[in-house]
């Protein structure tokens, strides 16, 4: 098996044989990710010359969609995925993003696929996941000694069912295992970074750059946290904690919010803190901070208010502290976060203005 070595070099990309990349499909798979990966990998060593006329010496990559049978899979949104091969030999296996919710119970799921992943890894294969595909990867048992990243929406599932995992939610890519042969990627669009990473590994950085130019991939240097939204709604049956959550949702900017939440819950502080974490998965202060940062994100996306004004609006009189907290939670500064959405906001403003003019000119 190829595993991670030998790696192809830019000077001699023909040195490595054609590896087989298997895109694992299950009923929960997101078709867009599987089909996107297939197109990108299939373009290696082929598409650049077709588009530019410039010949390269890069050998293609073998890629196929695999499943436990060759029957079409009615996947997410009812879009069919047609497997091209059954589970078998593969040098690289990618588990695509899964359409699963926060209440999904993964234990005992995908037993055939999990067994196959273990067998291929033992034979030297590289095993990868995209976004929530990390849940299937964790279920295979291959991640016990690895750092793992995932889409932020899957973190409650991973923490609840696989507490031994070392989760790094801010990472776009995380590598681990023997020879870095376990690779997980963050949000759903991080399949692009994973694809470039694997192309560079097996066909050299020059080809990875060419593929990036063809498909306009990459440029997520700040990781995935700027894209993440905090999952603050967690179904539970603790009515006292629910009352506190309802209160702070409307009063997140209030002074001493944790103390007042405990009062609303009608609980002694120590009891409140214990029950709050048990019900929500967060400490009370973490919950307030996440709520305030999420509100700050909304203001940065939709308004021209200064950072100082937003800091005060969400409950922080010290803008320096607010900037540090925002950076820790969002993975970037408030200014950079705002710039990320400036173009979309400007486009929306222009479209609204054009719509208003059109409406005014109607007879």
Q: What is the pLDDT of residue 358?
A: 45
> What distance in Å separates the CA atoms of residue 230 and residue 286, rounded to the nearest whole number?
11
First and final C-alpha spacing in the chain: 72
Is the preceding omega at residue 218 within 30 degrees of 0, hence cis?
no
Q: What is the pLDDT of residue 313?
A: 96
> What distance in Å separates the CA atoms of residue 196 and residue 173, rounded to the nearest whole number?
11
- Mean pLDDT split into 10-residue runs, the chain, 363 residues: 36 58 95 94 91 84 96 88 95 94 90 96 96 94 88 88 87 88 84 88 82 69 53 78 94 94 96 94 92 89 90 96 93 84 48 45 53
> What distance in Å separates the CA atoms of residue 149 and residue 273, rounded to the nearest whole number?
28
Q: What is the pLDDT of residue 122?
A: 96
Domains of the chain (ranges; CATH) run 20-219 (3.40.50.880), 239-345 (1.10.10.60)
Length of the chain counted residue by residue: 363
Which uninterrupted H or E stretch holds 112?
Answer: helix 111-122
User: What one-character DSSP code corresponds to residue 64?
Assistant: E
Q: What is the pLDDT of residue 79?
A: 87
Residue 80: count of CB within 10 angstroms of its CB: 9
Q: What is the pLDDT of residue 321?
A: 96
Query: Which token pair is 8?
Result: 């192809």
Q: What is the pLDDT of residue 233?
A: 61
Report the SS3 class of residue 130: strand
Residues sharing a CB contact under 8 Å with residue 87, sequence separation 6 or more, in sequence order: 24, 66, 67, 68, 112, 113, 116
Q: What is the pLDDT of residue 347?
A: 38
């Amino acid at each position: 098996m190829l595993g991670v070595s030998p790696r192809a070099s830019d000077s001699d990309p023909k040195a490595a044989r054609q590896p087989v990349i298997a895109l694992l499909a299950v009923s929960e798979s997101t078709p867009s990710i599987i089909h996107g990966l297939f197109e990108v990998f299939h373009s290696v060593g082929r598409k650049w010359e077709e588009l530019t006329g410039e010949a390269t010496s890069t050998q293609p990559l073998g890629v196929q969609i695999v499943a436990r049978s060759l029957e079409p899979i009615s996947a997410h949104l009812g879009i069919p995925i047609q497997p091209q091969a059954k589970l078998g030999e593969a040098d690289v296996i990618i588990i695509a993003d899964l359409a699963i919710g926060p209440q999904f119970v993964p234990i005992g799921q995908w037993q055939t696929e999990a067994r196959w992943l273990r067998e291929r890894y033992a034979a030297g294969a590289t095993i990868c996941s995209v976004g929530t595909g990390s849940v299937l990867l964790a279920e295979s048992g291959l991640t016990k000694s690895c750092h793992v990243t995932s889409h932020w929406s899957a973190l409650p599932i991973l923490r609840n069912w696989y507490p031994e995992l070392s989760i790094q939610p801010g990472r776009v890519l995380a590598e681990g295992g023997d020879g870095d042969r376990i690779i997980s990627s963050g949000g759903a669009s991080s399949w692009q970074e994973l694809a470039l990473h694997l192309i560079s590994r097996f066909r050299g950085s020059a080809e990875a750059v060419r593929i990036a130019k063809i498909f306009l991939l990459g440029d997520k240097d700040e990781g995935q946290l700027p894209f993440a939204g905090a999952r603050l709604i967690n179904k539970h049956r603790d009515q006292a904690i629910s009352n506190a959550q309802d209160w702070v949702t409307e009063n997140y900017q209030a002074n001493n919010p944790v103390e007042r939440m405990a009062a609303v819950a009608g609980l002694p502080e120590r009891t409140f803190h214990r029950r709050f974490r048990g019900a929500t998965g967060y400490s009370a202060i973490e919950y307030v901070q996440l709520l305030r940062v999420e509100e700050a994100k909304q203001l940065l996306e939709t308004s021209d208010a200064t950072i100082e004004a937003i800091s005060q609006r969400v409950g922080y009189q010290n803008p320096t502290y607010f900037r540090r907290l925002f950076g820790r939670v969002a993975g970037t500064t408030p200014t950079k976060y705002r710039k990320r959405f400036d173009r979309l906001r400007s486009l929306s403003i222009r479209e609204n203005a054009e719509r208003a003019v059109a409406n005014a000119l109607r007879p």
